[in-house]
Structure 1
Amino acid sequence: MESTFYIQFNVKTQEGLQSYGRFDIGNDSEAAAKIFHQLKGSPDVNEHNFLSLELMETVKGLPVNLQIISCTLDELAYNCRVISKEVFNQANIKLP
């Protein structure tokens, strides 16, 4: 079974972290890491952060957290643009 990668979006609520979205970003670990490293945010995640993004890998059907960053609402908007652009490029640009 092949690993797949995705970026999960979380928001802090009174009940704890709630996942509210995700971008599937393929099965190439290098491409997934490249996308995640382009994102704005801080790796210093703590209880005061309200928004976070997690780079996840599915291994044998189970989710594995690879990295997490916290971000502001403005950074989240920027990050959605970056991820959408990169996913579009991966799907539409075929290198020889």
Structure 2
Amino acid sequence: MKYNNVSAAQCGTLYYQPSKKQFMDMRFTITVSLQGPGEKKTTYGRFCIGDDKNIAMEIFSRLSGKPENDSGFALIMEFFEEVMGLPVPCGRLYCALGELKENIAFISKEIFRIANLENKDIAPLS
């Protein structure tokens, strides 16, 4: 990790300055989880939807679901921006089973379109 060459006396504190490569290590993912009443959330699926923020936000904005959970059991889709390997939450939807099915079909279609028709790289999940 690089730190800039400014002394603490010059700016009051040292701050982290990521390199250009580290900024490029950004990707967007959508996870699929379930949670019962009083239970811990269990994540059982994850989609990598590329490194283009506009496309990723457009995909997540077109998914079906509610922003609030109105029942004890929940199927949850969460949108994350991963910066240098750390997930930063950007959005969450609570879905019914039918909505989850439609969302997964839509995400799969969009990943296919991005990777094959627009010839962009979709990095595999590690």
Return the TM-score normalized by structure 2: 0.70
**Does 1:92 pair with 2:91?**
no
Map of 2:30 onto structure 1: 7
Compute the RMSD of aligned alpha carbons: 1.6
Map Cα deviations across residues 3-40 of structure 1 (whole Å, 9 max, x no partner).
11010001004531111111110001111001001110
Task: Structure 2: state its 5+ residue gaps.
Answer: 1-21, 120-126
Map of 2:105 onto structure 1: 81
Map of 1:37 onto structure 2: 61
- In the aligned structure 2, how far is the partner of 1:8 from the partner of 1:41? 14
**Does 1:50 pair with 2:50?**
no
Whether contact under 8 Å (1:49, 1:70) holds in the other structure is: no
Report which structure shows greater RCO (CA 8 Å, sep ≥6): 1
Q: How far apart are residue 48 of structure 1 and its match?
A: 2.5
Map of 1:17 onto structure 2: 41
Q: Which is strand-richer, 1 or 2?
A: 1
Closer/same/farther in 2, CA of residues 72 and 35 from structure 1, 3 Å limit: same
Aligned residues with identical type, % of pairs: 38
Return the TM-score normalized by structure 1: 0.90
The list of structure 1 runs, each at least 4 consecutive aligned residues, that deviate by more than 2 angstroms after superposition, is: 45-49
